[in-house]
C-alpha cells in the first residue's frame, strides 16, 4: 500500500502524510504542532507512530510546527544541511542528512530529492519511489527547470503548486509591488498557468493524478486553478487527468495505490 493524504496546503501552512506499507512520514510541517496532531488523529494516526519528517525548505509555511512536533514525538528530520542550518542551532533534534540530489532507501520506499528555484537556503522537491509507482512533491518554485521536468516525468501522481491567478495577484491591493515581484520572479511561486504547463507536459508521460496545492487565499480560487489545468489539457488534446484541488481547511481524501 502506498498512500498520500494532504493535511493542509496553502500560503499559510503545508503538510502531507505519506504512507508506505506499515510506515508513515510527514512531508513538511507548516501547521502548529497542535494542529498537526489534530489532523493526524482525525485520520486515526498517532503522531508518535510516524517514522520521521521530510522537509522541502525552511520557510514558516512549511516548517512552522516542526521544532515542537519533532521534540514532542522524538522523530527524525530528513533534510539537507543548508535547510537544517537555517532552522536549528542546537543539536537536540535527530537530524538525518538528506542532501540535495541524493537518494535514500527506507524499507519499501526510496526517497529522491532534487533542487528547485525558490528563495530559500537550499529548497528541494521530492520523489517517493515505490513498487506501485512514484509520487512527486513540487511546491514553492518560480519555474520548472529542465531538471524538474525530467524528474517529474517519473510520477504517477504529483502534488503541484498552483499559487496564484495572475489577474488576482495584480489586482491585490494588500501586497506591495515588491512582494508581487517576488511572487512572480523565477525564484517565487507558480501561477495557475505555469502549473497547467507542467501538468500538461507530465500528462504526456506517466502522470495519472495531480493534486493542486499551495493556493494563495487572496490571489487564487480553487475553481480557477482546476479550470487552468483542464483547459490546458483540452487545448493540447490530452487525455484527462484526475485533478484535485486542496487548501488548508481539512485533510484531503487519500490517493491510494495497492
- 137 φ/ψ angles, rounded to the nearest 5 degrees: -120, 115
Q: What is the pLDDT of residue 250?
A: 81
Single out the residue of 169, 159, 231 nearest to residue 196, CA to CA.
231
Q: For residues 187 and 135, is the Cβ–Cβ distance under 8 A?
A: no
pLDDT digits (tens, 9 = 90+) for 88-112: 976 689 999 999 999 999 999 999 9
**pLDDT of the chain, 258 residues: tens digit per residue:** 899 999 999 888 999 999 999 999 999 999 999 999 999 999 999 999 999 999 999 999 999 999 999 999 999 999 999 999 999 976 689 999 999 999 999 999 999 999 999 999 999 999 999 999 999 999 999 999 999 999 999 999 999 999 999 999 999 999 999 999 999 999 999 999 999 999 999 999 999 999 999 999 999 999 999 999 999 999 999 988 999 998 877 889 898 887
How far apart CA 202 and CA 149 sit, in angstroms, is 8
SS3 content of the chain, % helix, strand, coil (to 5): 30, 30, 40
What b-and-e string marks burial along 130-141, b requiring 16 or more CB atoms within 10 Å of the CB? beebbbbbbbbb
How far apart CA 162 and CA 202 sit, in angstroms, is 15
Single out the residue of 28, 84, 88 nearest to residue 53, CA to CA.
28
To which residue does cell 537555517 refer? 86
Q: For residues 204 and 238, is the Cβ–Cβ distance under 8 A?
A: yes
Q: For residues 12 and 27, is the Cβ–Cβ distance under 8 A?
A: no
Cell numbers at 230, concatenated:
483542464
Amino acid at each position: 500500500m502506498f498512500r498520500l493524504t494532504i493535511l493542509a496546503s496553502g500560503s499559510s501552512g503545508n503538510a502531507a502524510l505519506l504512507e508506505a506499507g506499515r510506515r508513515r512520514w510527514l512531508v513538511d510541517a507548516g501547521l502548529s504542532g497542535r494542529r498537526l496532531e489534530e489532523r493526524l488523529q482525525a485520520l486515526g494516526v498517532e503522531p508518535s507512530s510516524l517514522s520521521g519528517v521530510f522537509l522541502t525548505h525552511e520557510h514558516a509555511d512549511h516548517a512552522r510546527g516542526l521544532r515542537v512536533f519533532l521534540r514532542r514525538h522524538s522523530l527524525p528530520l530528513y533534510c539537507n544541511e543548508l535547510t537544517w542550518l537555517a532552522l536549528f542551532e542546537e543539536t537536540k533534534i535527530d537530524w538525518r542528512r538528506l542532501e540535495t540530489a541524493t537518494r535514500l532507501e527506507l524499507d519499501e520506499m526510496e526517497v529522491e530529492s532534487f533542487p528547485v528555484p525558490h528563495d530559500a537556503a537550499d529548497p528541494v522537491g521530492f520523489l517517493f519511489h515505490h513498487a506501485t509507482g512514484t509520487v512527486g512533491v513540487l511546491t514553492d518554485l518560480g519555474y520548472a527547470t529542465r531538471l524538474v521536468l525530467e524528474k517529474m516525468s517519473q510520477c504517477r501522481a504529483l502534488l503541484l503548486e498552483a499559487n496564484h491567478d495572475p489577474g488576482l495577484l495584480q489586482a491585490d491591493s494588500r501586497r506591495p509591488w515588491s512582494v508581487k515581484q517576488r511572487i512572480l520572479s523565477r525564484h517565487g511561486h507558480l501561477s495557475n498557468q505555469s502549473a497547467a504547463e507542467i501538468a500538461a507536459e507530465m500528462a504526456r508521460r506517466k502522470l495519472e493524478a495531480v493534486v493542486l496545492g499551495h493556493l494563495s487565499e487572496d490571489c487564487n480560487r480553487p475553481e480557477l486553478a482546476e479550470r487552468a489545468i483542464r483547459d490546458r489539457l483540452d487545448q493540447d488534446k490530452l487525455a484527462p487527468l484526475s485533478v484535485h484541488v486542496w487548501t488548508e481547511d481539512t485533510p484531503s481524501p487519500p490517493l491510494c495505490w495497492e
